[in-house]
Amino acid sequence: METSLYTYDLLEQGCYYLVKLKEDSPVTLIKVAVISDHCLFIQRYDDPMETEWKLKKDTIFDIIECLSDETVKAWEEEFLESKNPFYEDDSTDE
């Protein structure tokens, strides 16, 4: 029995969240990019990354956690390396 306790209205702009959108869905990373009066524009880091508008009253099955800045930085480094095998943080052009 799926009981939703959360809505997008609880999320803050600029923050990254680990969420379960539905009870049987995998854990998903989302970022709230823009908040309007009634909606949020989110980036969902699936493969491929997707963007979409959500109503503030739309439901989320579970908000697992809001990621710290340190966790986001560590994730971004891994994410960039996995998307570009030639990515090096301190590379120089020769």
Q: Where are the domains of the chain?
A: 6-83
Backbone angles phi, psi at 58, to 5 degrees: -60, 150
Enter the pTM of the model.
Answer: 0.79
Q: What is the pLDDT, as a whole number, of residue 11?
A: 97
Given a contact cutoff of 8 angstroms between Cβ atoms, the answer to whether 57 and 9 are in contact is: yes
Q: What is the pLDDT, as a whole number, of residue 2?
A: 53
The residue count for the chain: 94
What is the CA 5 to chain-centroid distance, rounded? 19
Cis bond upstream, residue 48 (ω within 30)? yes
Q: What is the pLDDT, as a whole number, of residue 4?
A: 53
What does CATH list as the number for 6-83?
A: 2.30.30
pLDDT tens track for 30-89: 999 999 999 999 999 887 889 999 999 999 999 999 999 999 999 888 877 776 655 555
pLDDT of 27 strictly over 90? yes
What is the 8-class DSSP label of residue 14?
T
Backbone angles phi, psi at 65, to 5 degrees: -170, 155
